[in-house]
Every structure is written in C-alpha cells, then in structure tokens.
Structure 1
Amino acid sequence: MEYPLDSGGSVLVAVEKTTADGVVTRGWGEDRPVRVAEQANQTFESAVAKVRPAADALLASLSGLQSKPSEITIEFAIQLTAEAGVCIATLGASANFKIALKWTPPK
C-alpha cells in the first residue's frame, strides 16, 4: 500500500489483503510478477493521526489519578489496512494497550 506524505513523496506499507470471502492473504500472491502497490486514499499522516484521540484519552485519564504517577508509559501497535486506513492492533496474544505506571518517592 502506498501512502502519500504531506510533505511530498510517499511511504510503502505492507498490509494484509482480505479476499471477498474473508480469507486473509499475505504477500503478492497471483500479482507477484506485477508488484504494483495500491494507492491509499489518504496521506500517511492523516491515517496515523486517527489513533491520536485514543492516546490522548488514555493519557488524560491516567494523568487524572488521585495519586499521580511520576511516569506513564503507554504502548500500543497500529495496523495499516487498505480498507480502514489505520486501526489499533493487538499486542502479543490479546492486549491492545500495555500501560506502565511508575511512582517515585519524593526526595
């Protein structure tokens, strides 16, 4: 999948292709000799920006804890798809978000 960049140029991203019957295929398959990338209908930046509200909401919620942590780490994966553009993908077996909170005692 080829995503244009706001600043010009583009980035090629490997995506899973789903057939009409729902089977997920990987690689170039029958199109291997052609190797033509599908053009995305949005820029890379606009596709990736769709996960920003989820990250902002998580950070705002965790920052509002009664006992504020000194450090907040949020990990999540994104998956670029031809159909949806971008979605939050699973990490490991099933978690969509990995959150670590750290409290440092005052000095």
Structure 2
Amino acid sequence: MAALMEFQTDSGAQVTVEVDRHGPGARLVSRGENSLAQAGRTFDEALIGIRSAAESALAVFREGTLKPDGVELEFGVKLTAEAGAVIAKSSVEGHLTVKLSWSPGSGPVGP
C-alpha cells in the first residue's frame, strides 16, 4: 500500500509525495489508510542528485561531434525517505529519455 511523505522546500513550502513505503529517515506524523511521514531532508536536497545527473547528461550530449541545437532529457524520478530522489525504473531499466534536435541546415557535419 502506498504512503504519503511530506517534504519541505528550502523556501518553506510543503510538498506531499506518494511513496511505496516509509523507510529510515522519515518521521511518521499520522497513521491510517494514507499514513503521512515527514522526510528527513528538504525537497530541494532530495533533488540535488537528479540535477547533477541532468547537468552531466547535458554536457555529454552537447559536447562531441553531434552539436545538437536542442537537448531534451526526461527522467522518471522517485522520492524516498532514505535516498532522496532517485531515477525511477521503467520496466527493468532506469528511466531516461533523450531527444536531440537540429534546426534545418544546422545538422551535424559529415566526414
């Protein structure tokens, strides 16, 4: 059964997220059908690793010979009390979709 976890943002706002289960690092604040726990870290802190992953992926796709005009990344993100934000799995593998785009006449230079 899913549970609810409350994260506080660095600006003080509350974000409630559905999680698979409460784990270490969460503080249970209500019980019942949709029990609520407060996360041990802020929402912003939980997402720092995902931001770093996105920055790294963008650097990889922007550098090199392809030189796309646009790079679009899509991560499936799962929030947990103990690990913060993690890239969620889709089927058996991690979820990352990458789209590269070029404007007409500005595609990669051939050999």
TM, length-normalised to structure 1: 0.75
The corresponding residue for 2:88 is: 89
From 2, 5, 8, the equivalent of 2:9 is 5
Find the residue that maps to 1:80 and give its secondary structure.
Answer: strand
Ranges of 4+ aligned residues in structure 1 off by more than 6 Å: none
The corresponding residue for 1:24 is: none
Find the residue that maps to 1:100 and give its secondary structure.
Answer: strand
Find the residue that maps to 2:79 and give its secondary structure.
Answer: strand
Residue identity opposite 2:97 in structure 1 = K
- For residues 35-54 of structure 1, the aligned pairs below 5 Å read 35-54=34-53
Structure 1 residue 49 displacement after superposition: 1.7
9 and 18 in structure 1: CA distance in 2 versus 1, 3 angstrom threshold: closer
Alignment of 1:55 with 2:46, yes or no, is no
Cα RMSD of the aligned pairs, angstroms, is 2.2
Unaligned runs of 5+ in 2: 24-30, 107-111
Structure 1 residue 41 displacement after superposition: 0.8
Residue identity opposite 1:15 in structure 2 = V
Unaligned runs of 5+ in 1: 20-30
TM, length-normalised to structure 2: 0.72
The corresponding residue for 1:27 is: none
Measured against aligned partners, the alpha-carbon deviations of 1:18-67 in whole angstroms (never above 9, x if no partner) come to: 78xxxxxxxxxxx426x541111111111112211110010001000213
